[in-house]
């Protein structure tokens, strides 16, 4: 049976997975497979489905196919695509921790995490391939070892896996909120209250498809952001954020949605006069907590604020002192 399916799904190396849907309530095929294969993104699972590599009860599945208890799912996992066209680049990496299983970095502003249209070179992945030659083949062709992402102009803590086993376990920690991610940001205005939670599904912007927005639950993915007010700075605020979910641009979108966009965010903040010239949004992944994927020892990492972020705070605090005199 396995040989027959292998021939019909595709030739060459790969892996056939036979799964049974166990839940009494129905769920979309793509969402359930993503929950079962933590090392694969939902977009990549959807590509497998579109390529005809997934069957439900012997019939080719669709992303929206509703699974019911007892359904038999067969997923043909093709081998990782080669990374030969990705060039390793010598890059100054700010390493917070490294062993044979993972590496934690303090990412600078202006560096994309992985290649994408317009960013084929000079990404963190290019630098990692030079630093860690064994990364190719882990987690797909463009994101070797990437557990989670930071936007190009967001700075701070990011963890990268150095083996497939470490990758899977770390991604499960992100998914199940075992890993903790804390951010600092300077935003426009002052929020009401000292702390709160923003809940709003995030999906593609209905007009500008290059942006994301808070949309209906049916059109987006659940997103939850906890915030605390750290310091009032006249017309600005220093805030901390903790993520329950990890949607694209989540903090930036949620801040804009509440009327307090991140300072320097050219995508989600209308053009405003700023106290100093900024090269990107003032958003910093300040702390990262996780269990070591092999030893299970709890580890906590902290990245100091970048110079530009510190300079902005100095200017805002001086202006606050002057206005109160």
Show the domain range for 38.
2-77
Q: In this structure, are 220 and 170 located in the same domain?
A: no
Do 58 and 102 share a structural domain?
A: no
Say what the pLDDT of residue 259 is.
95
Q: Are residues 296 and 191 in the same domain?
A: yes
Mean pLDDT of successive 10-residue stretches along the chain, which has 325 residues: 42 74 93 78 83 92 94 83 71 95 96 76 90 68 80 96 88 90 96 96 87 89 95 96 92 96 92 84 97 96 97 94 77
Residues 30, 71, 151, 265: which is the catalytic one?
Answer: 151
**Can you give the pLDDT at residue 8?**
45
Question: Quick one: 237 and 111 in the same domain?
Answer: no
Co-location of 170 and 184 in the same domain: no
**Triad 42, 196, 109: Cα angle to 5°:** 55
Q: Residue 217 catalytic?
A: no
Q: Is residue 83 part of a domain?
A: no
CATH code, 15: 3.10.290.10
CA-nearest of 255, 234, 233 to 183 is: 255
Tally of domains in the chain: 3
Question: Do 206 and 318 belong to one domain?
Answer: yes
Rounded-to-integer distance, Cα 25 and Cα 163, Å: 35
Same-domain check for residues 121 and 196:
no
State the pLDDT at residue 134.
74
pLDDT for 115: 78
* Reported pTM: 0.74
| pLDDT given for residue 150 in this prediction | 94
> DSSP 3-state helix, strand, coil percentages of the chain (rounded to 5)?
20, 30, 50
Give DSSP secondary structure letters for 271-291.
Answer: ----SS--SS--EEEEEEEEE
pLDDT of residue 2: 39
Q: Is residue 87 part of a domain?
A: no
- My answer on whether 113 and 223 are in the same domain is no
Residue 141 has a pLDDT of 57
Q: Tell me which of 153, 175, 197 is where a domain ends.
A: 175
Determine the pLDDT at residue 82: 53
Task: Identify the helix (H) or strand (E) that includes residue 19.
Answer: strand 15-20
Q: Is 124 helix (H, G, I), strand (E, B) or coil?
A: helix
pLDDT of residue 121: 84
Last residue of a domain, one of 111, 142, 175: 175
- DSSP assignment of 71-92 equals -EEEEEEPPPPP-TTSPP----
Final residue of a structural domain among 175, 198, 222: 175
Could you tell me the CATH number of the domain that includes residue 119? 3.30.2350.10
């Amino acid at each position: 049976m396995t040989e027959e399916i292998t021939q019909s799904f595709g030739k060459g190396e790969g892996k056939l997975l036979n799964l049974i849907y166990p839940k009494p309530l129905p769920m979309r095929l793509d969402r359930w497979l993503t929950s079962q294969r933590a090392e694969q993104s939902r977009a990549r699972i959807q590509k497998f489905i579109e390529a005809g590599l997934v069957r439900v009860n012997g019939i080719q599945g669709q992303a929206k196919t509703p699974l019911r208890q007892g359904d038999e799912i067969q997923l043909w996992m093709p081998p990782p695509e080669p990374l030969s066209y990705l060039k390793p680049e010598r890059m100054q990496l700010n390493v917070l921790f490294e062993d044979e299983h993972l590496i934690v970095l303090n990412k600078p502003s202006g560096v994309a995490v992985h290649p994408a249209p317009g960013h084929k070179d000079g990404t963190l992945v290019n630098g990692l391939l030079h630093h860690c030659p064994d990364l190719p083949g882990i987690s797909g062709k463009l994101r070797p070892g990437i557990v989670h992402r930071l936007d190009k102009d967001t700075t701070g803590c990011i963890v990268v896996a150095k083996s497939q086993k470490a990758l899977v376990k770390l991604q499960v920690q992100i998914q199940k909120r075992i890993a903790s991610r804390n951010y600092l940001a300077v935003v426009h205005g002052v929020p009401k209250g000292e702390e709160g939670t923003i809940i709003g599904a995030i999906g593609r912007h209905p007009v500008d498809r290059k942006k994301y927005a808070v949309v209906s639950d049916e059109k987006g993915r659940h997103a939850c952001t906890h915030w605390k007010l750290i310091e009032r700075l006249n017309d600005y605020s220093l805030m901390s954020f903790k993520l329950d979910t990890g949607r694209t641009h989540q903090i930036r979108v949620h801040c804009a949605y509440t009327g307090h966009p991140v300072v320097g965010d050219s995508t989600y903040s209308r053009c405003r006069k700023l106290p100093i010239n900024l090269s990107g949004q003032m958003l910093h992944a300040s702390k990262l907590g996780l269990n070591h994927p092999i030893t299970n020892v709890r580890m906590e990492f902290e990245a100091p604020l970048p110079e530009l972020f510190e300079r902005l705070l100095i200017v805002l605090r001086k202006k606050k002192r002057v206005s109160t005199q």
